[in-house]
Amino acid sequence: MNPQVTPVLRLADAGLAFGDRPLWSGLDLDLRPGEFVTVLGANGSGKSSLLKAILGLQPLTTGSISFLGRPVTRGDRHIGYIPQQRLIPAGTPLRGWDLVALGVDGHRPGVRWRGRRSVRAAVEAAVAAVGAGGFAGRPIGQLSGGEQQRLRVAQALVSDPSLLLCDEPLISLDLQHQQAVSRLVDQRRRQHGTPVLFVTHDINPVLPMTDRVLYFAAGRHRLGTPEKVLHSGVLSALYGTPVEVARIGERVVVLGAPDHHEPHHPSEHGGEHE
């Protein structure tokens, strides 16, 4: 097989259930180099659990996941992970640099003793790549949510990941920072061919860069190009209830989807099922 199209990530007949509550099943997904897949769906439909499964933190009920040709392992450091923005409080004794540096060696035991210089070089490059040079030296608790989120992107990229998982990274950011963060993710996959799995409740900020959409609803899912999946007929069949997809200018709005536009429920990300 041509190595160019070997999938970085492969889910085969993957299914996940909590007790007798199935989240999704029969999921087949091949993520190829440079591909941008946006994951949509109602709260509690298992979007974040999918990322947890890929990170090896959540065993599948059925099927398998392989990453770079091998079964996923717990906390694989070839995967970059960008979480949803959670404001780091003022009075945290770390500077922007330090947050990024944890992406290099935060998992290692002990204190950073040797290799300070190489860590510093990697951190500086990553900080520059996300345009955070102007504020990375300031205490992290004094930075805005958007600035902190840029640094989290740098933290995820500093270890040169082969796959990027984004779990609602745009939530509670203003429009400008939403664009900035999604542009940085897009830039990474264009320049390095790192495929992206991007979980979000609003596709619009990432619609221009989305190659395929994975849409979860009512224990089922649909995978395909945005044009194909974001369609009234397709989503109505998926939800099992009439759903209207409207296109207003460049924006896509899904109307009538159960639970879709309710405020984000934090417990989905809060390790409820750990």
Partner 1 sequence: MNWWERIFNFADYGQLLGLVHNSLIAAAVLGVVGGIVSVFVMQRDMAFAVHGVSELSFAGAAGALLVGASVVAGALVGSILAALAIGLLGARARDRNSAIGVLMPFGLGLGILFLALYEGRASAKFGLLTGQIISVDSPQLGWLIGICLVALGLLVAIWRPLLFDTLDPDVATARGVPGRAMSLLFMLALGLVVSVAVQIVGALLVLALLVTPAASALRVSASPVLVPVLSALFGVLAAVGGILLALGGSLPISPYITSISFLTYLVCRVVGSRKGRVVRMGQ
> Which chain residues interact with partner 1 by CB under 8 A?
55, 57, 74-77, 79, 81, 83, 86, 88, 91-95, 98-99, 102-103, 105-112, 139-142, 152, 155, 165, 167, 269-271, 274
In one-letter notation, the amino acid at residue 266 is P
Comparing CB distances to partner 1, the nearer of 103 and 226 is 103
CB of 233 to partner 1, least distance (A): 37
CB of 260 to partner 1, least distance (A): 24
Comparing CB distances to partner 1, the nearer of 201 and 269 is 269
CB of 182 to partner 1, least distance (A): 19
CB of 200 to partner 1, least distance (A): 16
HEC states along 191-238? HHCCCEEEECCCCHHHHHHCCEEEEEECCEEEEECHHHHCCHHHHHHH
Comparing CB distances to partner 1, the nearer of 28 and 272 is 272
Q: What are phi and psi of 252, to 5 degrees?
A: -115, 130
CB of 116 to partner 1, least distance (A): 11
CA distance 148 to 99: 9
CB of 23 to partner 1, least distance (A): 19
Kindly report each contact of residues 177-183 with a partner whose C-beta sits within 8 Å and lies 24 or more positions away, as own/partner. Answer: 177/145, 177/146, 177/149, 177/150, 178/205, 179/205, 180/131, 180/146, 180/150, 181/146, 181/149, 181/150, 181/153, 182/206, 182/209
Q: Is 79 left (phi over 0), alpha (psi -120 to 50) or beta?
A: beta
Comparing CB distances to partner 1, the nearer of 144 and 241 is 144
Comparing CB distances to partner 1, the nearer of 106 and 258 is 106
Q: How far is CA 52 from the centre of its chain?
A: 10
CB of 139 to partner 1, least distance (A): 3
Please name every residue paired with 27 in a beta bridge, in sequence order, or none if there are none: 14
Closest CA to 273 of 13, 60, 87: 60
Comparing CB distances to partner 1, the nearer of 7 and 103 is 103
Please name every residue paired with 81 in a beta bridge, in sequence order, or none if there are none: 165
Closest CA to 106 of 122, 128, 90: 122
CB of 73 to partner 1, least distance (A): 8
Comparing CB distances to partner 1, the nearer of 75 and 133 is 75
Angle of CA points 83, 30, 196, to nearest 5°: 30
CA distance 103 to 205: 26
Q: Please give the helix or strand (H or E) that residue 76 lies within, else none.
A: none
Comparing CB distances to partner 1, the nearer of 80 and 226 is 80
